[in-house]
Amino acid sequence: MAKIFLDEDASLDILKDKVIGVIGYGNQGRAQALNLRDSRLNVLVGNIKDYAWDIAISDGFTVKGIDEVSRESDIIMILIPDEVAPEVFDKDILPYLSKGKVIDFASGYNITYGFIKPPEGVDVILVAPRMIGKGVRDLFTQGNGYPVMVGVEQDASGNGWDYALALSKGIGAFLPGGCAVESSFYEETLVDLFSEHSWAGAMLYLLQTCYEVLVEEGVSPEVAILELYASGELGEIGHSIAQLGLWNQLKLHSRTSQYGHMTWGKKYITEETKKIMKEAIEEIKDGRFAKEWGLEQVMGLPSFNMLWKLRLSHPVCKEEDKLYKTLGRR
């Protein structure tokens, strides 16, 4: 059983005299940097000179190059995309990782697959919010928490867990409703990629197929799109699952709805479905997916760009665009 950490398990004291360098000011970087500052901690932002640099400046941060922030910081939070992190790490972070420093990751990907190899003498910790960046910030400002996965890959100082829990507290995870769950870089990578390769991706294709079936049956594109997802009901169901539980949220539906969910829903899940999920797990575990994605990037993203072209050319996207313009969403 994984250990669950709550607010009383963490203290900010270990961070009070430290300089925390947030590398990357994107969705997670901005949210975590703002929360840390609001927790009265000393934060620097490291970024390339792009639009995010300007946003960080306008937010009132001291912003410097990634190499400068790495040199000046005691704790370095790597919050840039997985695909660019290894190159940035080797060039702008690794040369400044002196003994006693702490490196924090929000993703286990690069450590799990060996794309980033930290030196000895530094703590290597994981603080991975199970929440998008906007949610990390919005929940904090509302006084609410959210779950994070925490782990320690290398505990050179003997204080790795204290740092992981302190950073979790600093970014707001332990506010009411939140917690930290004991995990590891490997486990975070496995569950994160598996979610993306299973239910999350399948849901998008399933909704697209449902649209096709409804339109073939004479339903207008507008009604189909609103019914399937554009009304926001899908988001409300997701919120209810998070608050009440996978099946208990169904009690909020009519009995007709409950009966249809439980009798028809299971027909789409077969032994073949589970077999495909197991195949996804194996490709994550043995590194085949990581190799495939790495090669795709080296080749200039031909398959990635083609997949986007195909998806956006589907009729549902064209009808969705017209509907969303009518509704003032675009």
Contacts of 324 (CB under 8 A, 6+ apart): 230, 330
Residue at which a domain ends, from 183, 208, 232: 183
Same domain, 257 and 317: yes
Q: How far apart are CA 159 and CA 275, in angstroms?
A: 42
Largest distance between two CA atoms of the chain: 67
Residue at which a domain ends, from 161, 183, 205: 183
Among candidates 97, 37, 90, which has minimal Cα distance to 69? 97
Same domain, 8 and 144: yes
Same domain, 209 and 268: yes
CB 189 within 8 A of CB 155: no
Same domain, 197 and 172: no
DSSP tag of 119: P
Residue 149 pLDDT: 98
What are 128-157's pLDDT values in tens digits?
A: 999 999 999 999 999 999 999 999 999 999
Average pLDDT of the chain to the nearest whole number: 97
Residue 61 pLDDT: 97
Give the range of the structural domain holding residue 21, as residue numbers without chain letter: 4-183
What are 237-256's pLDDT values in tens digits?
A: 999 999 999 999 999 999 99
Same domain, 171 and 33: yes
Same domain, 197 and 139: no
Residue 84 pLDDT: 95
Question: Which amino acid makes up residue 169?
Answer: K
Residue 193 pLDDT: 98
What are 281-305's pLDDT values in tens digits?
A: 999 999 999 999 999 999 999 999 9
Residue at which a domain ends, from 183, 198, 220: 183
> Once rounded to an integer, what is the mean pLDDT over residues 170-187?
98
Same domain, 175 and 199: no
Residue 323 pLDDT: 97
Same domain, 135 and 170: yes
CATH code of the domain in which 126 resides: 3.40.50.720
Indicate if the alpha-carbon torsion angle 127, 55, 58, 74 is positive or negative: positive
Query: Beta strand 102-105 with 123-129: parallel, antiparallel or unpaired?
Result: parallel
Residue 266 pLDDT: 95
Same domain, 130 and 275: no
Q: How far apart are CA 25 and CA 78, in angstroms?
A: 10
CB 138 within 8 A of CB 116: no
Burial of 256 (0-12, 13-18, 19+ CB in 10 A): exposed
What residues are paired with 152 via a beta bridge?
Answer: 125
Q: How far apart are CA 153 and CA 259, in angstroms?
A: 47
Same domain, 52 and 108: yes
In the structure, what pLDDT confidence band is assigned to residue 73 with cuts at 50, 70 and 90?
A: very high
Same domain, 179 and 299: no
Residue 35 pLDDT: 98
Q: How far apart are CA 324 and CA 229, in angstroms?
A: 12
Same domain, 37 and 173: yes
For the chain, the straight-line distance linking the first and the last C-alpha, in angstroms and rounded, comes to: 46
Q: Which of helix, strand or coil describes residue 64?
A: strand
CB atoms within 10 A of CB 22: 31
What are 14-60's pLDDT values in tens digits?
A: 999 999 999 999 999 999 999 999 999 999 999 999 999 999 999 99
Domain count, the chain: 2
